[in-house]
Amino acid sequence: MAKTDPERRSQPLQDILFDQGFGTRRICAGLIQQGHVLVAAGEAGALVPCTDVNAVFDPRGLRLRVQGMDWECQVRACLMLHKPAGIECSQKPSAWPSVYTLLPAPLRQRPNKGAVQGVQAVGRLDQDTTGLLLLTDDGQLIHRLASPKHDVPKVYEVTLKHPADAGICARLLAGVVLDDDPRPVRAAACELDDPLHLRLTLTGGKYHQVKRMVAAAGNRVEALHRSQIGGLRLPADLAVGQWRWLRAEDLALLGV
């Protein structure tokens, strides 16, 4: 593998491992020198050992195997996770395990990118809420997706405690008043699939918003699942508790 860098886009392997979150530069150098790092450029390239910390590679599209773990290099880490119930979206959980324990160590240890250390959840889901959760170390992307100014729609599948009719949709679309704001909060879209299942689309991000809106409309949430953010749906083949990288087409569906 070439050590030249004519376009000045490549980096020493030691720096790539550090940027990907495999530890301090000293730890990364040790992994390389001890033969624990295999490298392959491109999807078809074969993984081969590299023991030279200064060997230069373009991190874009670079595949690694570090201590037996396959890794696809990402300049910016953007991923989706199928959040289970009983998990908190917090680095310092109070009563439940942290969602970050579902991620491999490199994602939690990536060095600072601006104000962000490691990947951070884009917004939060309650511990009992399941579904689509985005995480990234890109501070601008977090702001773009989480800010209420950008009105990124989020779709929730709501299991109701009491059977409902079309009237609940009318109330949620017209707007309900929550206890912390005298202004009505409206759903962007709402449909009742059956008397106990509501599909609700919101653009805001108030605390416990879905549960509070449903309560204000005269019912109660028994279970809550986020199925979509923007145009991005939770893939049917992404198992509960699993994650995968966001591709360019996924980010396009998010409008970023």
Predicted confidence at residue 201, as pLDDT, reads 97
The set of residues, in sequence order, having a beta carbon less than 8 Å from that of 86 and lying 6+ positions away, is 96, 97, 127, 128
Predicted confidence at residue 3, as pLDDT, reads 46
Q: Could you give the C-alpha distances from 144 to 46, 68, 141, 151, in angstroms and in order? A: 38, 36, 5, 9
pLDDT string in tens for the chain (256-residue length): 444 443 458 899 999 999 999 999 999 999 999 999 999 976 668 999 999 999 999 998 899 999 999 999 999 999 999 999 999 999 888 899 999 999 999 999 998 766 556 899 998 899 999 999 999 998 888 888 877 777 899 999 999 999 999 999 999 999 999 987 889 999 999 999 999 999 999 997 788 899 999 999 999 999 999 999 999 999 999 999 999 999 999 999 998 7
Say whether 52 is catalytic. Answer: no
Do 92 and 68 share a structural domain? no
Do 224 and 172 share a structural domain? yes
Do 194 and 158 share a structural domain? yes
Predicted confidence at residue 4, as pLDDT, reads 41
CATH number at residue 121: 3.30.70.580
Q: Among candidates 81, 70, 176, 63, which has minimal Cα distance to 119?
A: 81
Predicted confidence at residue 115, as pLDDT, reads 56
Do 175 and 63 share a structural domain? no
Predicted confidence at residue 2, as pLDDT, reads 40
Do 86 and 203 share a structural domain? no
Which one of 52, 58, 126, 128 is the catalytic residue? 126
User: How many CB atoms are located within 10 Å of the residue 50 CB?
Assistant: 17
Do 218 and 180 share a structural domain? yes
Do 130 and 85 share a structural domain? yes
Predicted confidence at residue 74, as pLDDT, reads 93
Do 43 and 141 share a structural domain? no
Residue 106 forms part of a structural domain: yes
CATH number at residue 168: 3.30.70.1560
Q: Among candidates 227, 233, 215, which has minimal Cα distance to 156?
A: 227
Residue 5 forms part of a structural domain: no
H or E element, residue 127: none
Number of domain units in the chain: 3
Do 171 and 220 share a structural domain? yes
Residue 130 forms part of a structural domain: yes
Do 157 and 145 share a structural domain? no
| C-alpha–C-alpha distance, residues 14 and 241, integer Å | 31
Predicted confidence at residue 7, as pLDDT, reads 43
Predicted confidence at residue 40, as pLDDT, reads 92
Range of the domain at 16: 11-72
| C-alpha–C-alpha distance, residues 194 and 73, integer Å | 44
